[in-house]
């Protein structure tokens, strides 16, 4: 069993239940469809987070999806309450039997010790209820969780800190470039670089079918954009149950930590805290940024009307008209290169980008790419950055070079399959897909990760890498005397040796003479460079 949950610091579309297709849909009712990613065409009703805005909700949307009365935790005055079916969870005496208690029911109403207050426990063997073939995985992805946020410690994020200290963690996990949400979430779930899975940005254009993708548009729901095989499809294809739950949380670290605490208390209450493997990751980090730090292409180019720029923390340029024969990518790069001493971006033809970025082999990646200095933005014209009536709508951003410290994010693993109180070296997020497949007993789909590279975080690694067997064994080399090929050499051995010996002696004497007359050069000639 596998579940992915995303706690978004920004408002994004949400997805709840998947079948054997990543974008399946049911019509007429919101049962099992709450906050789905699919936007059904009329006359079908919708259950996404915008249906209220467009007045297209299914009739049972409120009943199934907005059942939040009473909050998700018990209060002391609710202990032993009369069951109220309007509540999202219950604190009544029969809630354990019915399996719908609030997550803190046992600790608040029955005196159990909350998960957070327990000492770290080394779970050497999983303890799962009957019917579990293997420990399930719950992955939680937090948008914009910069690695350095972990330094806030137990005073701010006590539940997350306990997962870190009691389980397996890395100092940071490196996201893929660009360090944007959609490319990285899909990389985590497929093990592929963006150039391989096709989600090369939060916004992109496909010249093949001449369509535009962005995170707020309907086109993102079309399966033609999404390459590779995400972990939930790998699971379903191999007979493992899977589901994903995405919901928005526009809040601070303390509120995210509270959700983690609710999850862990709920698992303990259901006797699953020694069964389930928890993976907590971020999609990317976060960097300070402001509208005042914006470069404008109009300051570098005389004509910006013939191009389309995808602006922000990185820039991608294409011709406004795909049939424009005068569009010259090389000329644009040349005209933007080293034009000002304080220039805050560097232009590239995509094939000249650093190879470590793996950001070239996809036709959705524009020919001209602008790598922007951290804390800065790129825009086409001045007016395009002032559409909020002169107000700056952000104080931070992401998308910058993935080697920058502020773009690094977190990895925490906790549960029976992860090592106890273990710190591992940093790694790239493309490696997680293979780990999840190993934990679920799945055969991974082709991916860019190195299978087995994260075995050090597992208590009992499943996949052990081995050297490929040699197809052709090397022939033993015979003694030198057995060689009868003169290799085209006609000189006699003795003559060759004498000539070489004379040259060597002459060179040695020259060095000695040089050193006697240039003693000050001795440290330079014979010391090692720093």
Cite the active site residues.
Answer: 181
DSSP conformation letters of 516-528: HH-GGGHHHHHSP
Q: How far is CA 192 from CA 8, 147, 363, 427, 434, in A?
A: 22, 22, 16, 14, 11
Enumerate the β-bridge partners of residue 379: 296
Cα separation, 427 vs 34, whole angstroms: 35
Question: Quick one: angle between helices 253-269 and 158-166, nearest 10?
Answer: 60
Pairing of strands 411-414, 314-319: unpaired
Cα separation, 491 vs 487, whole angstroms: 11
DSSP conformation letters of 361-384: SSTTS-SEEEEEPTT-EEESSSGG
Residue 289 structure tokens = 């940024």
**268 three-state secondary structure:** helix
Which of 57, 62, 52, 24 minimizes the C-alpha distance to 42?
Answer: 57
Which of 19, 58, 55 minimizes the C-alpha distance to 35?
Answer: 58
Sheet containing strand 168-169, edge to edge, reads 242-248, 2-8, 137-142, 277-282, 411-414, 168-169, 422-423
Residue 263 structure tokens = 């999850």
CA 507 to the chain's CA centroid: 59
How many CB atoms are located within 10 Å of the residue 328 CB? 14
* CB 402, CB 318: distance < 8 Å: no
* CB 150, CB 258: distance < 8 Å: no
Residue 126 structure tokens = 């999983």
Residue 278 structure tokens = 């928890």
Cα separation, 75 vs 265, whole angstroms: 15
Give the residue carrying structure tokens 């994903």. Answer: 244
Residues making up the chain, counted from first to last:
530
Cα separation, 418 vs 11, whole angstroms: 32
Cα separation, 434 vs 414, whole angstroms: 17
Which of 7, 247, 241, 255 minimizes the C-alpha distance to 140?
Answer: 7
Pairing of strands 294-296, 314-319: unpaired
386 membership: H or E segment, kind and range: none
């Amino acid at each position: 069993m596998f579940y992915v949950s995303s706690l978004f610091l920004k408002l994004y579309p949400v997805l709840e239940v998947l079948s054997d297709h990543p974008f399946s849909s049911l019509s007429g009712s919101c049962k099992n469809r709450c906050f789905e990613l699919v936007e059904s065409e009329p006359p079908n009703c919708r259950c996404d987070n915008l249906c209220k805005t467009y007045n297209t909700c299914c009739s049972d949307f409120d009943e199934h999806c907005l059942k939040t009365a009473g909050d998700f935790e018990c209060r002391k005055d609710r202990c032993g309450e009369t069951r109220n079916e309007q509540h999202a969870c219950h604190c009544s005496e029969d809630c354990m039997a019915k399996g719908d208690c609030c997550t803190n029911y046992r600790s608040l109403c029955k005196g159990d010790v909350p998960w957070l207050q327990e000492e770290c426990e080394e779970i050497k063997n999983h303890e799962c209820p009957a019917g579990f073939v293997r420990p399930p995985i719950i992955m939680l992805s937090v948008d914009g969780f910069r690695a350095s946020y972990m330094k806030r410690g137990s005073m701010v994020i006590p539940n997350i800190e306990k997962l870190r200290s009691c389980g397996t963690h890395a100092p940071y996990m490196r996201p893929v470039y660009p360090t944007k949400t959609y490319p990285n979430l899909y990389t985590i779930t497929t093990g592929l670089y963006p150039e391989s899975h096709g989600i090369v940005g939060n916004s992109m254009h496909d010249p093949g079918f001449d369509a535009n993708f962005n995170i707020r548009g309907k086109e993102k729901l079309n399966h033609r954009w999404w390459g590779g095989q995400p972990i939930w499809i790998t699971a379903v294809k191999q007979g493992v149950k899977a589901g994903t739950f995405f919901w928005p949380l526009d809040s601070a670290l303390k509120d995210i930590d509270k959700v983690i605490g609710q999850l862990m208390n709920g698992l303990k209450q259901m006797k699953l805290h020694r069964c389930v493997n928890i993976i907590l990751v971020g999609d990317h980090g976060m960097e300070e940024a402001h509208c005042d730090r914006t470069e404008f292409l109009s300051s570098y180019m005389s004509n910006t009307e013939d191009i389309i720029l995808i602006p922000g923390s990185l820039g991608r340029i294409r011709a406004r008209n795909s049939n424009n024969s005068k569009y010259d990518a090389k000329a644009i790069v040349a005209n933007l290169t080293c034009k000002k001493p304080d220039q805050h971006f560097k232009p590239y033809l995509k094939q000249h980008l650093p190879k470590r970025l793996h950001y070239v082999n996809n036709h959705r990646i524009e020919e001209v790419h602008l790598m922007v200095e951290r804390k800065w933005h790129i825009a086409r014209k001045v007016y395009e950055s002032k559409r909020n009536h002169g107000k700056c709508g952000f104080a931070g951003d992401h998308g910058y070079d993935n080697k920058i410290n502020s773009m690094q994010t977190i990895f925490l693993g906790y549960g029976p399959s992860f090592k106890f109180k273990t710190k591992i070296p940093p790694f790239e997020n493309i490696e997680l897909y293979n780990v999840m497949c190993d934990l679920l007993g799945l055969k991974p789909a082709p991916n860019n990760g190195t299978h087995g590279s994260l075995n050090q975080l597992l208590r009992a690694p499943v996949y052990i890498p081995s050297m490929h067997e040699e197809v052709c064994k090397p022939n033993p080399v015979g003694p030198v005397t057995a060689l009868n090929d003169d290799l085209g050499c006609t000189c006699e051995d003795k003559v060759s040796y004498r000539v070489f010996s004379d040259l060597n002696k002459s060179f040695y004497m020259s060095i000695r003479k040089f050193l006697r007359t240039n003693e000050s050069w001795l440290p330079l000639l014979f010391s090692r460079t720093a």
